[in-house]
Amino acid sequence: MEITRREVLGGIGGLALVVAATPTATPSAFTATVPWKYAKLDLGAVAERGYAAYSQGGCMFGAFEGVIGELRATVGSPYDAFPAAMMKYGKAGAAGWGTLCGALNGAAAAISLVAKPEVADALIHTLYTWYGETPLPNYAPKTPKFKIATSTANSPLCHVSVTRWCEATGLKALSPERADRCGQLTASVAKRTVELLNDMADGKTVAAPAVVAEVVTCLGCHGKGGVLENVHASRGNACSICHEPTGHPIALKK
């Protein structure tokens, strides 16, 4: 027996509100599968949303919310059902541990929600390579707390990225300027993420950059099939950000 919504609404007035809220598919079947449908977003709106969200929940939440919050605002379902606040854990390199930059963690989570796995992998590699090579932040919010000078991290790690910025500016790691730097960096990462996703939506080929030459050289011995195959990482901005490239056994740089 099949009953249309029109028959239901026409026949039982008192139930209209309840029945109107019934989805055409169960929520689980609709939302549990990735990728979710992406719609092109406005870069400036994403960056501003990411900057504002940083103040509410840190860098990972900021980058994720910049993208997914804008999809929630413009597309609605199923994005309105996603518990974006769960991404607050990634702040300061994951709960203060200084590992993966939270903006990069949140951006990767957003990418993985809206792109097929192989596309997501290429986009994340592209984003991380860009992050390490680019003077950041490169987006200035409409109402910034400070005017922020840039630095180049040469690493996706929070600890390295922040310390390099402190060295470049002479400012302190727990200063309000550094907090705002990370907010503007979060906005910059969210904006770059949506540039990549908009290209994807336009059907442009996602061409992930080649792994940088230095990393390829090191992996020649330390990667798959090398004489000392002891490194699992296949990508990076540089090995020499930590390791002294001349002389073996290698020393770690100051």
Nearer to its own copies among residue 137 and residue 223 (C-beta) = 223
Least distance to its own copies from the beta carbon of 142, Å? 26
Nearer to its own copies among residue 142 and residue 232 (C-beta) = 232
Nearer to its own copies among residue 35 and residue 44 (C-beta) = 35
Least distance to its own copies from the beta carbon of 102, Å? 10
Q: Angle, nearest 10°, between helix axes 117-133 and 176-201?
A: 140
Which of 53, 120, 136, 196 is the binder for its own copies (CB under 8 A)?
A: 120
Q: Side chain identity at 34, as an amino acid letter?
A: V
119 scored as a contact of its own copies (CB under 8 A): no
Q: Tokens 């792994």 belong to which residue?
A: 211
Least distance to its own copies from the beta carbon of 41, Å? 18
User: How far is it, in rounded angstroms, from Cα 206 to Cα 122?
Assistant: 7
16 scored as a contact of its own copies (CB under 8 A): no
Of 123-152, binders to its own copies (CB under 8 A) are 124-125, 128
User: How far is it, in rounded angstroms, from Cα 25 to Cα 80?
Assistant: 16
Strand spans (E) along the chain: none
The per-residue DSSP string of 1-32 comes to: ----HHHHHHH-GGGHHHHHT--SS-HHHHHS
Of 217-236, binders to its own copies (CB under 8 A) are 222-225, 229-236
Least distance to its own copies from the beta carbon of 31, Å? 5
Which of 8, 45, 149, 201 is the binder for its own copies (CB under 8 A)?
A: 8
User: How far is it, in rounded angstroms, from Cα 254 to Cα 231?
Assistant: 21
Phi, then psi, of 235 in degrees rounded to 5: -140, 160
Nearer to its own copies among residue 83 and residue 203 (C-beta) = 83
Nearer to its own copies among residue 128 and residue 139 (C-beta) = 128
Which of 157, 187, 189, 194 is the binder for its own copies (CB under 8 A)?
A: 157
59 scored as a contact of its own copies (CB under 8 A): no
CB atoms within 10 A of CB 120: 22
Pair 146, 180: CB distance under 8 Å: yes
Pair 223, 231: CB distance under 8 Å: yes
37 scored as a contact of its own copies (CB under 8 A): no
Nearer to its own copies among residue 44 and residue 55 (C-beta) = 55
User: How far is it, in rounded angstroms, from Cα 135 to Cα 30?
Assistant: 40
